[in-house]
Each structure stands twice: as C-alpha cells, then as structure tokens.
Chain A
C-alpha cells in the first residue's frame, strides 16, 4: 500500500521501504515529538540486546560501603574486546542538601565509568574529583560522570523492611519506581572526559549514548545492592534480600531539566538519524502485506501490557494527566479494533491510518512503537544507523546561489516564514544561559533583560529573517558572498543546508512562542533513551524511569537472548493494572 502524501525521503538504509516515511512536516511538530514512546530502537534496549548477544559478563569487584551508606564500589562490565568499570562513591548527604537541580553541590552517590579496569591509583584520583562533579576534573580515561540521589520515601522503606526480614510493599515500589534518581549523566568530553571521537569507532559505543546507558544500567544494580547491604548492616540476623520480581520492578529515576532540551536542536544530523531510523522501521512494517499469527499474538500481548503501563502512569502535571487519560482511552479503542484489522491485508498500514483519524497523538505514537515490536528482523538493524559523524556535515556549500538557498529555506522553513515574528506572542520566550553555574534557562523575552544573551535555539525565527534578507539579494550571487556580508545568517544557513541530507533535522515548530512546552523536547529525547513513566513537574522539567522491568547484569547470562529485550512494557498482572 503506497501513500501518496508528502515528498519521498530516501533514508540511509540499504533496503528502501515500500511505504513512504511520514513527512517531516507531520513528524517534526512539538506536540507529536512530545508524545513519543520508547521503542525497539531506544538506546537502553539496543544496549541490553548487545550485552546479551555478545555474552558480556559482569562482576562486582569491590563493595566497601559502611553505614550510613558511605564508601566505594566497583562494577566491571567485560565485553568481547574491552572492559568498562563503574566506580561508585556513596556519600552521607544531609537531607537539606538533596536537590535535583543542576546547581546542587552534593549528592547521595556519584559515579564515573572508567575505560578499562579501575586500578587503585585511578580510584584514588577519582575519589578526589568525582564527588565534586562539575567542580572536579576527570580524564580521557573516563567515559561518563554521573550522580544520583535517593528517593527518600522509598529508600528508607525498603531498607527498613528488608532489615526486618520482610519484603517492601509492592504498591510503594510501584508508586515511585526507583531507589535513586540520577540528576545528570555527562559524557562526550565534559569536564575532561574522553571525547566521543576517541571511542566512536568501537562497535559497542558507536550507537548514541551507549556509554551513558551502560552507566545507568550499572548504577541500577548498585542501588539494589546498596539497599540490601544497608539492610544487612542494620540487622544482620534478620535481613533478607529482595524478591527478584520486586527487584525487577525498580529502575533508576532521572530528573531532567531544561538543559536537555537544546540537545535536539544543537545536534541536527544526529537527531535526524534517530527520527529516520524509527520512521524507516515504521515504513518497513507498514509495507508488510500480512501479519503472521505469531506477530499478531505478540502485538496484542504488548498492547495489553501497554494498557497496564498507561493505567499505572501517574503524573502531577495537569497536561500530562490529560494526555495519559487520552492514551488510556486510545488504547481501549485500539484493543477493540486491532484483532480484526491485523488479521486482514496490509494490517499495520491500515491500523496506523485508522489511528491517524481515531486517536490522539499519545495513542498514535504509542501505536508506532507497538507495531515495531513483533519485527526484530525488520527493525533492530536500524539501530546501527542512529549515530552521526557530526563534524563531517559542518561545511557550508558556499558556491550554492542565493536563489537556490532561498528555495531551500522556503521548503524546510515554510512553516516559519508564515509566522508573524513581530508579535510578542510568537517571540515571548528566549533561551539563555545564566551566569549562575551556567544553567540553561528559558525566560520571558519582553519582561526580562535576557535577549542580549539569547542562545541560538530558534531556527524558525532565524530562517524567516534569513529568507527576508535573501529576497533582497541578487539571486545569482553565491551563498559565500551573502554570508560574508551577513555573518548573522551563517548559523541557520548551515542548518538549512544540513536539512537536505537530514530532512528530520529541524523541529518544524516555534521554539520561542508563548505556547512552547520544553517538556516536549525532553519527552522526545527521553523516548529515544528508552525512558518510561514520563512525569513532568512543570512545563520545563520532568522525572522519568530508566531500565524499569529490565533484567539485572547478573541475570543476562541466565536468560535466553530473545527474552532479554522483553522489558519495554510492564509484565501483565503488575501492580497498578486495572
């Protein structure tokens, strides 16, 4: 079934789909990006599939933690070619210093992922720096730097119960979902860490954020080991380990603020490759003439589990509560219609087209993730296309004529050229970096003195200005000549030209209007990480859970490889299910 809507974009993959990709003007809207769900292509799932496939082994080589939870632990992850070590420092943090803000200065635990085996000298060096986080220095021998705080309400409950020889209350575990939440996981050369270019040619790290995801995966193991250890210290005679099924239900929390939102604008070719991979996967599945019985069964099982997930998805944010309520209704409607539809011809394409009309964006995008699930053979290879050698796409084609550039800008930014950028509503916000700990923020352009410090995160407005100036220019002149006179347009010209090879590079929405919700950008990025339980606390910061229901490092070896990846949706019968 071919759809005749929109231009056809050729992706980098070798087998072109027979169904066209959804066009950028449809996909790259903030409201839709802000409704994305984790999928087979999410980086956490990509990581665990590799760890299982390559038979990585894990060992807790050191665990020197004393009450009240102070000391150091080291976890080694050994792959076919290399070893990576998580060095974890546990601290005694006074309660009044526990803050999720990036401007915090102390944490319950701090971490570095060492490139190789961490010897005593390395651990000693890290002990003097890692607990300081941004105020310390790490080296090219480390890949990530991170920290996490306890969920006070759950952590204490679990230690108490285990120490008393009892299991924690499942309802409490479900309510929070994690023992600790990270408030930053730094990589890519920050604070002296190894540059991405140093490690990008290693198969296990060539995909996006694989070192960061490995870090979080090991942090999760540490948090569970820590509660059990503290319970034993508290009451050696009575303490018990946690029930494996309850352990599984815990992930690692994460609190993410505005700092993450600019990423998807600042990395256009990379971002486009993420989108293209998932859209290509969708197109491949939609192109299937029929669905086998096994695929149908798998889809319906995961749909039911997605309903469990939606039913237990809580948020204190009004908008998100509305979205979740709509999702619950959407999934009910989907469950009614799906069994019959997917037994017929062109099952997935028909289902997606039905959803386009019948469901809200949350439901539509949940369906996109779900239809990929039965088809590892059509989808999983696309994970290798999701990185980008960003430096290679930096150059500007200066010999292009300005009339060619004008046409290109009109094509990519047509939506922006139609906006009246003279109104306060459309330019209400400005992104900036504060001098206080260099925290990224968004403010009110027309009320605060921030415009002179504005970060370049409004490509649409910039493109509209570029377009206006181009119209006043001789169309036969070169872009190089134009940019020499108009260096202020160099930034968005580079983006416009990148959009030729990377059609999904640009968010096709106003990122500075009075209506913008930065959490939409966070949701999009976090869905590609593989996060669940997206829980906005305002329009600009969120909490999520990572690796919830995933196997632990020491379980990877015991499970068949093809079941390792079955954790994206909660198991049936989980607490909170209706």
Chain B
C-alpha cells in the first residue's frame, strides 16, 4: 500500500465529520477538525491522536468529559477532560489565558490543545506555553515549538504566558503522511454521518439522472 499523503483541508474535513459521527455537535466538531489539522500542519499526528480521543469519548456523554464550569481550574474533576472541549473554553476566553497561569487539571491527549493555544496566541498576541509531564508546547502567533516527547494519554496540564525555546515544529513539505489504520478508523466514524442509500433518495435527492443530450 502506498503512503497516503493528505492535504490539510482533507484532514480538517475528515476530522470534523468523524467528530460529529462520534457524537460531537457540528460546532464542536468544527473545532475538532481544526485541532487535527493544526497538529498535522506542525508535523504532529493530528488525525491519529484525534481518533484515539474519539475512541475514548465514544459512548460517553458531553457532561462526563466536559469541564463543569468556565473557571479554567478543574483539578478536582473525576474523569480526564476532553481536550477539544477544554480547548474551546480556553480559546473562547482567550484573554484569561493571556493574563496568567492556569491549571486546567487532567486532560486526555493534551497535545490536542495545540490549536486552542494558537487561537489564544493569535487573538491576544501573547505567546503561551502548555506543560504536562516532562513535555512543553510553546505556541506563538506565527510559530510553535516543542520540548520532550509531547505525547501523553492523560496528564495534568498547566498553561502560562511565555516563550519556549524548544524544537521548531514545522509542516511536512508535501502534506501529512497519515497512519492508514488511524485514517480508516476516522472514516468509520465519519461514515456514521452518511445517510444509508436508498433508491428513492438517489433519484429524488440529487436531481435527475439525465445521461446526455
């Protein structure tokens, strides 16, 4: 099998549909699309991490995995938090993260917060550093840097204003080469958004099937 090299647009579109298929409403799923795309645009496995998250999230309710409030301090939450939802609260309240350090609590796949930090950086013109375990992700308005492995299934996350002098995270020249099995799993989630085909819908739904004249 030849390697599947994806455009950013393809990742965004598939991740959005997959997130919707896994139960996120469309608006949140749109964020999930950006989340996967942002990582791939920085040479990191966005589609692969997102599908892990969707597997974990599948069957759980929004309330179970969402922060209980917009306090940006959720250390007491019993279950790890969904990074897409956490990210939307961070991005929506960008000014709060630019003002000073927040301790978000335990987050699933914390690297998936990268996009939200980039939104905060862009909206507030403030560089930020997210820290978990031995990893650090630095996000400024125009570039991102990393330290440590960056990967963690679950970890306590701290975000604070500042610059990180780590390795520059850059886009692959030709596009993201996706893990085919992860991509197939995303497609399976996306497939849940497609209506089963019926002859009636085929004839009626798209218009006439005129051959030629």
> Which residue numbers of A lie inside 8 Å of B, CB to CB?
95-96, 98-102, 137, 139-140, 149, 151-153, 188-197, 257-258, 391-392, 394-399, 432-436, 438-444, 448-450, 452-453, 456, 478-481, 483-484, 487-494, 537-541
Contacts and interface: CB of A to CB of B under 8 A. Distances in A.
A191 B175 CA distance: 12
Interface residues on B, range: 35 or more
Given A99-B209, A494-B27, A538-B207, A140 B194 contact: no
A189 B197 contact: no
A490 B201 contact: no
B196 A435 contact: yes
Contacts of B89: 398, 480, 484
A76 B116 CA distance: 42
Contact of A398 (B93, B191, B196): B93
Contact of A190 (B9, B62, B94, B210): B9
Contacts of B62: 487
B5 A438 contact: no
B92 interface: yes
B27 A441 contact: no
A540 B85 contact: no
Contacts of A483: 27, 88, 92
A443 B205 contact: yes
Contacts of A540: 206-207
Closest 7 CB pairs of A and B: A398-B92, A490-B27, A189-B9, A441-B205, A491-B27, A189-B7, A541-B207
Contacts of B201: 434, 441, 443, 448, 450
Interface in B174-200: 174-175, 191, 193-198, 200
A190 B205 CA distance: 23
Contact of B213 (A152, A395, A489): A152
Contact of A140 (B174, B204, B210): B174
B47 interface: no
15 contacts: A189-B8, A192-B7, A391-B34, A395-B94, A395-B123, A398-B91, A432-B195, A439-B205, A441-B201, A449-B195, A478-B93, A483-B27, A488-B27, A537-B207, A537-B210
Contact of B195 (A433, A479, A488, A537): A433
B197 A99 contact: no
Nearest to B8: A195
A489 B92 CA distance: 14
A448 B66 contact: no
A493 B27 contact: yes
A440 B17 CA distance: 14
A188 B13 CA distance: 12
Contacts of B66: 484, 487
Interface centre among B8, B195, B200 (most CB of A within 10 A): B195
B158 interface: no
Nearest to B72: A480
Interface in B2-42: 4-10, 24-28, 30-31, 34
A480 B93 contact: yes
B27 A489 contact: yes
B85 A487 contact: yes
Contact of B211 (A98, A443, A478, A488): A98
A329 B24 CA distance: 52
Contacts of B4: 137
Nearest to B9: A189
Nearest to B91: A395
A196 B91 CA distance: 24
Contact of B207 (A149, A257, A443): A257
Interface centre among B174, B197, B207 (most CB of A within 10 A): B207
A487 B28 contact: yes
B60 interface: no
B120 to A, nearest CB: 9
Contact of B70 (A96, A99, A197, A481): A481
A397 B174 CA distance: 34
Nearest to B123: A395
A197 B62 CA distance: 33
A117 to B, nearest CB: 18
Contacts of A196: 9
B43 interface: no
B195 A434 contact: yes
B168 interface: no
A142 to B, nearest CB: 11
Contacts of A490: 25-28, 30-31, 88
A491 B26 contact: yes
A539 B206 CA distance: 10
Contacts of B193: 433, 453
Contact of A484 (B26, B85, B204): B85
B202 interface: yes
B95 interface: yes
B208 A538 contact: yes
Contacts of A487: 24-25, 27-28, 62, 66, 85
A95 B212 CA distance: 9
Interface string B77-89: 0000000010011
A454 to B, nearest CB: 9
Contacts of A539: 207
Contact of B174 (A139, A152, A191, A480): A139
Contacts of B94: 395, 398
Contacts of B93: 398-399, 478, 480
Nearest to A477: B70
Contact of A152 (B6, B206, B212): B212
A435 B195 CA distance: 6
Contacts of B8: 189, 195, 197
Contacts of A450: 195, 201
A494 B88 CA distance: 12
B119 interface: yes
Contacts of A100: 210, 212
B41 to A, nearest CB: 9
A448 B205 CA distance: 11
